């Protein structure tokens, strides 16, 4: 048995300004994002997490820093990083960028997971590296309750990987900043317990 609590990082100014972040942009949380991280901690601090896994990007660590301060061990896995948005990273989504982005998403929604934006990463490439992260997390069988902090598009792909369903289902899984997905592993398969929960923000 293993319980995975998976959250998206808190808000950054780039989120607010609709600027593409991705794997290659290492932004910090803004004041709202830091507060979101605290509110998540305040609700879930009584859960006895055995381990925390985060990406190598600062916004994930900043989101769960309060748990780290409590002494919970953590590890950075670059395989949990956001998808690479290539040439679009660090840019405001103007009409041209949105057009190319929508072209890629339309291709993904039609089952073509080998399409990427210019110099970016495909969903197949993203999920291949995520498989390595999942294998690493699952082999540590003594870690029964695990917190994972990652990124929006990467989270969608990771959920499909955990549930062993096609990437075609990616956009069925919504994500808000610090939203929570909980999945339980029974020894054979994962089951969705909680989906896109932001009740901790309702204060």
DSSP state of 84: P
For residue 102, the model assigns a pLDDT of 81
For residue 18, the model assigns a pLDDT of 81
More confident residue, 30 or 92: 30
Q: Does any domain span residue 92?
A: no
Q: What CATH number corresponds to the domain at position 163?
A: 3.40.50.1240
Q: Does any domain span residue 143?
A: yes
Average pLDDT on 31-55 reads: 98
- Asked whether the predicted pLDDT for residue 93 surpasses 80, the reply is no
Per-residue confidence at 190, pLDDT binned at 50, 70, 90?
very high
The string over 108-133, giving b where at least 16 C-beta atoms fall within 10 Å of a residue's C-beta and e elsewhere, is: beeeebebbbeebbbbeebbebbeeb
Q: Does any domain span residue 97?
A: no
- Asked whether the predicted pLDDT for residue 92 surpasses 80, the reply is no
Other beta carbons within 10 angstroms of residue 169's beta carbon come to: 14
Q: Does any domain span residue 174?
A: yes
Q: Does any domain span residue 38?
A: yes
Q: Does any domain span residue 89?
A: no
* Count of domains forming the chain: 1
Residue-range definition of the domain harbouring residue 71: 2-84+122-201
Q: Does any domain span residue 99?
A: no
């Amino acid at each position: 048995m293993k319980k995975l609590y998976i959250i998206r990082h808190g808000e950054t100014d780039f989120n607010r300004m609709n600027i593409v972040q991705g794997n290659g942009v290492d932004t910090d949380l803004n004041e709202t994002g830091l507060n979101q991280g605290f509110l998540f901690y305040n609700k879930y601090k009584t859960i006895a997490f055995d381990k925390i896994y985060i990406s190598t990007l600062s916004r994930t660590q900043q989101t769960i820093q309060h748990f780290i301060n409590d002494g919970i061990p953590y590890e950075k896995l670059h395989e949990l990083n956001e998808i690479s948005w290539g040439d679009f990273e660090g840019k405001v989504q103007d009409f041209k960028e949105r057009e190319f982005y929508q072209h890629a998403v339309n291709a993904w929604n039609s089952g073509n997971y080998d399409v990427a934006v210019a110099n970016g990463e495909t969903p197949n490439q993203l999920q291949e590296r995520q498989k390595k992260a999942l294998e690493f997390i699952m082999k540590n069988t003594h870690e029964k309750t695990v917190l994972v902090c990652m990124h929006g598009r990467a989270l969608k792909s990771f959920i499909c990987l955990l549930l062993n369903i096609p990437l075609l289902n990616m956009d069925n899984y919504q994500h808000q900043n610090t939203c929570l997905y909980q999945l339980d592993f029974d020894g054979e398969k994962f089951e969705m317990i909680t989906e896109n929960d932001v009740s901790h923000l309702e204060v």
